[in-house]
Structure formats: structure tokens, C-alpha cells
Amino acid sequence: MNGQTESMRWETKILIFLMISSCLVTTGICACFSSALFLANKATQQEFPAIEDSIEPSVACPRVPEGWRIIKENTFDENVNKWPLGKASDEYDTTNLMMEGGVLRYEVSAHKGVYSHQHPGLGKSLENFYMTADIQKVSGPRDPEYGVVFRARGERQVVFSIQDSGMVAVTPRDVGGVWQDDWLVKYSNHVEKDQSNQFVVYVHGWTYTFCVNQFIVGEVESSTYPSGQFGIGVFLDAGDKAVFEIDNFNIYAPEE
């Protein structure tokens, strides 16, 4: 893992977000998108999808489809799915994963820029699924990135994340920890700062629907990652310390 690579990925996105926020007030949307994408390509030598804002009408998140049942339930009253509880440390971070008061609590202290992720030992690999999780930043830096992981097979996985500023992203990660082009980068006014945010990932066929707090924030078509397991992931810069609480981490799937 390369800390500078992690940091540059989000510095670029934040730069785009700030430019768009400013431009929406002073100029025009088209001109802002053009300038922002030019800077992103210049900074990273790769193309990202245009960041969309949330001016369009809000659309309610799909419900769990009829006939689907819960496959993995995490109430966190007990560790039935074998999350790797306890302390761990390496050159990148020191972590402590605990269950307290019916929630999963994740404490992370970053020694370098780090992507820190956790997965239950008793996972489930599914093609079609409806995933929910409530995550709250309890303490930490002003605008960390955090969210859920799916399609996980070792280092190959996809991360659906938010920031307090309203930034939403879906980013795949390949073998060797190499980040691929974002599936989605967007601003949403449905992200709640300093509160618990509900994530939903609904996958049926090759269509992915992503929701925050019961509203759709984006949809993607992809056949690149056909199956895999689930977890949580956070991004922190060197020196950052943060605490996250996770609840209602549940996976639904069609009846077999």
C-alpha cells in the first residue's frame, strides 16, 4: 500500500468538489465541470467520471425485493459472524475493533496515509444482494472518507464511501491494492454530518444502485466484479485518529 497514492486520490476529488461548489454560485455548471475535469486529468493523468450535484429531484431508495430474505444479520450483541475483534498494529495504522452496546466500534490511528478495512470471518459471497449498514463517525478529523466494502476477494474489492462534505464515491481496488478508475464520484445533500448515515448497496444482475439515508445517490452498470464478500473501510491521512460505530450491517439475497 502506498500512502501518497491514497492521499492524492482524495486530494484530487476534494479539489474538484470545492471548484464545483464555488462555480455553482458564481458561474455556470458546464464551465465548472469542464475546469474541474481538466485539473483532475492534469493532476492524476487519468479520467474520472464527472461529479454530479444533487439538483435533480430526490429518488427514494428501492426496498428489499419481495421474496428476498436476510442471509447475514449483524446485530453486534454477540460476534456470531466472527468479526476480527481486538487490537492490531502495523506500519500503516493501529486499530481496535470492538463490540460495545450492540454496535461495532472501530478505532483507527493512522501512522501513514491508509485505507483500513475489516471483514467478518463468516462471510458470504453473493451475486445478487441488498446490503444495509448504519455508520457514524464518532470522532476524528473534519472530513474523513468511510463506508462499506463489497465484492471483496482479498485485495480485490469495491468501496462505497462518503465524506461529511457530501462527497460520495464508489471505487474499485484490484490485485496488489491498485486503485482503479472510480465508478462514481458525486455530491449528495443526503449525507448527514456528525450523524449516523445509512448505506444501501442493491445489486441485481449487473446493475448497482447506491443509496444514502434512503435516497439514491447513483447507479452503475458493471460486470467486472461478479461476486465477493462484505465489510467496512475507512481512509485516513497520516496522524489522523478516528472512531466509527457500525450497526444494522445486514445482507439480503433471493431465496434459493
| Element (DSSP H or E) covering residue 147 | strand 145-153
When pLDDT is cut at 50, 70 and 90, the band that residue 105 belongs to is very high
pLDDT value at residue 146: 98
When pLDDT is cut at 50, 70 and 90, the band that residue 34 belongs to is very low
How far, in Å, CA of 225 to CA of 160, rounded? 14
Q: Which of 23-27, 36-40, 102-106, 243-247 has the lowest mean pLDDT?
A: 36-40
pLDDT digits (tens, 9 = 90+) for 131-151: 999 999 999 998 999 999 999
Residue type, 59: V
Q: Is the pLDDT of residue 40 over 60?
A: no
pLDDT value at residue 60: 96
Q: Which of 5-19, 59-73, 156-170 has the lowest mean pLDDT?
A: 5-19
Please tell me the pTM assigned to this model: 0.81
Spell out the residues 6+ positions from residue 27 whose beta carbon is closer than 8 angstroms to its own: none
Short-list 148, 169, 135, CA closest to 14? 169
How far, in Å, CA of 239 to CA of 219, rounded? 34
pLDDT value at residue 13: 52
Percent of residues, the chain, with pLDDT higher than 70? 78
pLDDT digits (tens, 9 = 90+) for 152-187: 998 999 999 999 999 999 999 999 889 999 999 999
pLDDT value at residue 252: 97
Q: What is the CB neighbour count within 10 angstroms for residue 196?
A: 17
Task: Kindly state the average pLDDT of the residues 66-70.
Answer: 95
pLDDT value at residue 56: 57
pLDDT value at residue 31: 32
How far, in Å, CA of 170 to CA of 147, rounded? 10
When pLDDT is cut at 50, 70 and 90, the band that residue 122 belongs to is confident
Q: Is the pLDDT of residue 246 over 60?
A: yes
When pLDDT is cut at 50, 70 and 90, the band that residue 75 belongs to is confident
pLDDT value at residue 23: 40
